[in-house]
Every structure is written in C-alpha cells, then in structure tokens.
Amino acid sequence: MDPFVFAAVLFAALCHASWNTLLKIRLDPFAANALITVASGLIALAALPFAGIPPIVSWPWVVGSIILHLAYYYGLTEAYRTGDLSQVYPIARGAAPLMTAVISTTVLGEDIGLYGWGGILALVSGVFLLSIRGGRDLSRIDRRAVGFAFFTAITICGYSLTDGVGARVSGNAHAYAAMLFILDGSCMAAFALWRRGQSILTEARIYWKTGLFGGALSVTSYWIAIWAMTVAPIAIVAALRETSVLFAAVISVVILKEALRPARVIAAVMIVCGLALIRLH
C-alpha cells in the first residue's frame, strides 16, 4: 500500500477516536453527536467553493449515505447511553471491516490479496479482544448496548461501501465529501430540533467550541477516508480506519482512567501486526 495513503488513513483514525471520545465526556451522547455533526456540515460548507459540486450521477450515493449515517448516529448514541466507551466502540468498529471486506470482494470484485486478508483478520481479532471485558465484568455486559453496537457496525459497513463507490463514481472525492457533510449536518440539525426542541439550542450555545473542535476532527477523519477509498481498496481503507479503536483504548486509559489490562496489551500487538500485513499489501 502506498505509504502516504497508509499514513493519512492512520491519522484519520486518530481523529476519529478523538471525536468519538467527546461523545462520552461532553453533554449527553445525542446532543454531543448532533452538535459535532452540524459543526461538520458548517465546516464543509466553508470548503465547498474550493471543493466544487459533485456530478448528478453521484447524488443517489450521497442520499443513501446520509440515510445510513443517520442510522449510525442513532445506533452509536444509544449504545453509548448504557455501555462503556472501551466496550461499545471496539464492537461497533470491529465487526464493520470484516463485513466490508466480504462484500467488497464478493460484490465489487476488489482484490485485497493474502496479506490484505491476513492484516484485516489480525486487526479485527485485536479489536474484538479489546472489547472482551470492556469497562465491566462479562456477567454485567449490557445486552442492549452490545446490540446497538452491532447495529452500528452494520451501518458503518453500509456507508463505507456507499461512499467508496459514490466517490469513485463522482470522479471528485473532495466535492463528494463536502456535499455529504453539508447535507448530513442539515439533516441532523432538523432531526435534533424535532427530537429535543429548543433545549438543543441552549446546549449548543454552551458547548459550541467543543462541537466545532469535534466537527473539525470528524471532517478531517472521514474526508481523508473518502479520498483514500478512491485510490485504494475500500476494504483495506475501512480496516485501517478501525485502528481508531487502539487510539480510543489509549484515550480511555489515559483520560477516562479506565483500567489497563493484559488483554489490551495483547490486542494492541495484534492490531500492530495487522497494520504491518496491510502495509505489505
């Protein structure tokens, strides 16, 4: 894999883990998600004159992606409501790359090779190992949180494939990404007002700086991923993005003061091995 693309997607993963952490430490999950999504749309709107408008042929993919993203926000928010970051996040992000790899190779005909498959499997195994205990005892795992985490994984797979194909069809990944963020932010704003009413505006005024920071991280993370999926296999990019789980684990231990267990160390080694194999792809 091209070293520049490889490094760019790893940086995107760090950004992704960072803005997801904000959902746990600021506001309630839904309000934080809405604030970050709307801020992302405003940032993309400012970039639109430079990115341009995507061609009409790619708009159905944009619409499909928005629907899947709204489902993703709902699933992730509900999972965080009852689950720990270190438990929910790995499950949500861990199942998605394997689903994406299977569909992209069987339906889209992408060839990721032996090293690619080996890297994806090692990375996914490490991701799931991180979630075995999460922040709770196994006997106390919240089934509702885990169920929403798996639902979120399905939506991640769906929008990854949709955006990968849509960006390729558009011929301009930057225009596609800008329009996606703008419409996504608009839809989230309408949904948040419908669900929370004027109270969401009060919270937004208090935490607008945090929202803007999270929005910038979110835009950077997924914009890079969309571009990367036009120059590399979708399955490989999707798998690399899930190294955000490793960054999230570090954040959980350092900032949220969650326990560092031997399983997390082993999982980190597995993820690094997966990265090495993917780099050889």
For the segment 226-239, the average pLDDT, to the nearest whole number, is 92
Q: Could you tell me the residue ranges of all domains in the chain?
A: 3-280
Range scoring the smallest mean pLDDT among 162-166, 168-172, 213-217: 213-217
pTM confidence score: 0.84
Length of the chain: 281
Using CA atoms, how far residue 71 sits from 102, 151, 267, in Å, is 21, 9, 29
Return the higher-pLDDT residue of 62 and 212: 62
- For residues 173 and 171, what is the distance between their CA atoms, to the nearest angstrom? 6
Mean of per-residue pLDDT scores for the chain: 82
pLDDT score at 256: 62
- For residues 11 and 117, what is the distance between their CA atoms, to the nearest angstrom? 22
Q: Are 145 and 88 in contact (CB under 8 A)?
A: yes
pLDDT-based confidence at residue 183 (cuts at 50, 70, 90): very high
Secondary structure of residue 61 in the 3-state scheme: helix
